[in-house]
Chains A and B, each alone.
Chain A
Amino acid sequence: MKPLVVARGVVKRYGAFTAVDGVSFQVMEGECFGILGPNGAGKTTLVRLMASLSPLTAGQITVDGLDVSRQGRQVRARIGLVPQHDNLDPELTAWQNLRVFSRYFGVPKAVAEERSGELLDFFHLRERARQRVETLSAGMRRRLIIARALINAPRLLVLDEPTTGLDPQARHLLWQRLRQLKAQGVTMVLTTHYMEEAEQLCDRLIIMHEGRVLAEGSPQALVERYAGREVAEVHLAPFQDEAPVLSRLTGARGLVWERAGDVLFIYARDSDGLDPALLRGMGERVVLRRANLEDVFLRLTGRGLAE
């Protein structure tokens, strides 16, 4: 596999504020690459730089071998961008939205019409083709934006928080469609703060915080490395001291703990797991579960408010 996107030492500053602070990564052809991070981590900025919408302050990004700073038009011709905020053309119908967008890319009319039909079928929007987009539901609009992003048959599909604000049904339908696209070989870059979304879709991901990359790897590798196999959530009474609980664990190897409010998180990082007997009777309630990406995310970016 060869890399489709190569980012080296990417920096973006707005005045004194540094939104992206020396980020490097590669996206391989055919993979789904995730960019995770709390609000304000710099995900959207990074996506805008990658899509040649915004000039870099320093560093370099190439897409399909083209420099985003010097060959912006060619880069944008190869990318389909799904922005976080809906910017469908509200004065046009669903069909016209696809048609007008295809013209921006110079897609020949016959090709554009055939592709529009296929995309509307694929995203269950065929019956809505003649409707103005204002009359569509949030889920339909989201699907139409992704259809629009595919109208130029892009080498790279870039999705900025594609399912934010959708209900569970709409979200699952969208995930299904994105998995199908991936199976067809579409390379994707996806930003999200839904861990489930990242686990469902991404082959590899980076976790960003305050403009920097904190960790990189496959979801499984990251979970094993940063959270281990199991996590015990010990729910304490407010202001209860955690020391007596922790003292019972002193014999166990490879445990890491962290307190957030009234919950004590105990990660079995290097050991094979936690002994349930050890935890019995601790706190008001103990939940023993498998570690997931959310644990990684929260361990790396902190459980406090990231505002």
Chain B
Amino acid sequence: MTLALARPDLSLRALRLWQRNWDVLRNTWLEELVWPFVEPLVTLLALGVGLGRIVQLPGDESYLEFVAPGLLAIFPMWAATSEAGWSSYFRLESERIFDAVMATPLSVDDITTGEVLWAATRGLISTLFILVVIAAFGTVASPLALLVPLAAVPACLFFAAISLCNTAVARSVRSLNYFFVLYITPQFWLSGAWFPLEELPEWAQRLSWWVPSAHAAELFRGLVRGGLEWGHMGHLAWLAVAALLFYALALLLMRRRLVR
């Protein structure tokens, strides 16, 4: 337990692991990016345009305009969690990348930090791509949308960190599934990206305070559609605090996993 409570041992060398992952992405970018690039496009066409023709929202907003900022909340969530999930697990157990790195001046905390930063980066790549796409579809109403990449940082860090926590305790690659099926998939559908959360019963609406992607969806909606309020800072703060908490937990769990 003394180990688990020790202060973090961090250095800038954490970025060297980030850089390793970046180099691998440059070798394999086509295979790696086809999923996060094509899926949001297809979704936007099917739901925004296709379904959008028959959906009538209260007010004069089209369904496409409603869905667009929601995509910024859920697809980057997928990108960051799957990177810190399956990909980190693969590096941890199959490729034994971290075993090799542990024999260098990097600390275990550097490894954890590099992985969290990298998975968050994958979330940000997805964010930037979707921002460009929804702008091209003409759904961006406010210049505040330019702040989306910055505002997305806490959300991406949070999803990266919580997924790495799950990876650090996973006994096999299959056991990662619980996290994705029970935690990420519900957030995909129930974050308020596809329909206003006010449509849900009262008790479910109250639960949404606990749903990270709901905070992200509200935040991005404010920036992209305009109408930013002080309340949006609350969503940002919620995500930032959660990111810090789960980053700290990831440091502990990865030490437990890697130090023997």
Interface check B177, CB cutoff 8 A: no
**Least CB distance, B165 to chain A, in whole angstroms:** 22
**Which residues from B are CB-within-8-Å of A91?**
24, 27-28, 95
Are A77 and B105 neighbours in the complex by a CB distance under 8 Å? yes
Size class of the contact patch on chain B = 20 to 34
A87 to B100 CA separation, bound complex (whole angstroms):
6
Contacts of B27 on A, CB cut-off 8 Å?
Answer: 91-92, 96
A73-97 CB mask vs B (1 if < 8 Å, else 0) is 1101101010101011111100010
Q: Which of A77, A85, A106 has the most chain B CB atoms inside 10 A of its CB?
A: A106
Q: Which residues of B contact A55 (CB under 8 A)?
A: 3, 259
Is there contact, CB below 8 Å, between A53 and B105? no
User: Closest residue to A97 on the B side, CB-wise?
Assistant: B100
Given contacts A91-B24, A91-B95, A103-B16, contact A54 B101 (CB under 8 A): no
Contact with A along B80-105 (1 / 0, CB 8 A): 00000000000000011101111111
Any B CB within 8 A of the CB of A239 = no
Q: Are A83 and B103 in contact (CB under 8 A)?
A: yes
Partner of A83, one of B19, B99, B106: B99
Residues of chain A in range 41-95 having any CB-CB distance to chain B below 8 Å: 51, 53-55, 72-74, 76-77, 79, 81, 83, 85, 87-92
What residues of chain B lie closer than 8 Å to A122, measured between beta carbons?
none
A86: nearest chain-B partner, CB-CB: B96
Contact yes or no, A92 B23, CB < 8 A:
yes
Contact B103 A81 (CB under 8 A): yes
Q: Which of B28, B95, B105 contacts A89 (CB under 8 A)?
A: B95
Which label, helix, strand, loop or mixed, suits the secondary structure of the B interface? Answer: helix
Looking at chain A, what size class is its interface with the partner chain?
20 to 34
- Residue A175 interfacial (CB < 8 Å): no
Q: List B residues 10-69 near A (Cβ within 8 Å).
A: 11, 13, 16-17, 19-20, 23-24, 27-28
Give the contacting residue for A105; candidates B20, B100, B105, B260; CB below 8 A: B105
Question: Could you give, for residues 204-233 of chain B, a 1 whenever the CB lies within 8 Å of some chain A CB and a 0 otherwise?
Answer: 000000000000000000000000000000
A104 CB–B CB distance under 8 Å: yes
Beta-carbon nearest neighbor of B95 in chain A: A90
Taking the complex as formed, is A17 at the interface, i.e. its CB lies under 8 A from any CB of chain B?
no
Known: A85-B96, A91-B28. A101 touches B23 (CB 8 A): no
Q: Which residues of B contact A (CB under 8 A)?
A: 3, 11, 13, 16-17, 19-20, 23-24, 27-28, 95-97, 99-107, 259-260
A binding-site residues for B, Cβ under 8 Å: 14, 51, 53-55, 72-74, 76-77, 79, 81, 83, 85, 87-92, 96, 100-101, 103-106, 152
Q: 7 A-B Cβ contacts within 8 A? A: A53-B102, A53-B103, A83-B99, A87-B96, A87-B100, A96-B23, A100-B19
- List 4 extra interface pairs beyond A51-B103, A72-B107, A100-B16, CB under 8 A: A89-B20, A89-B100, A92-B23, A100-B23
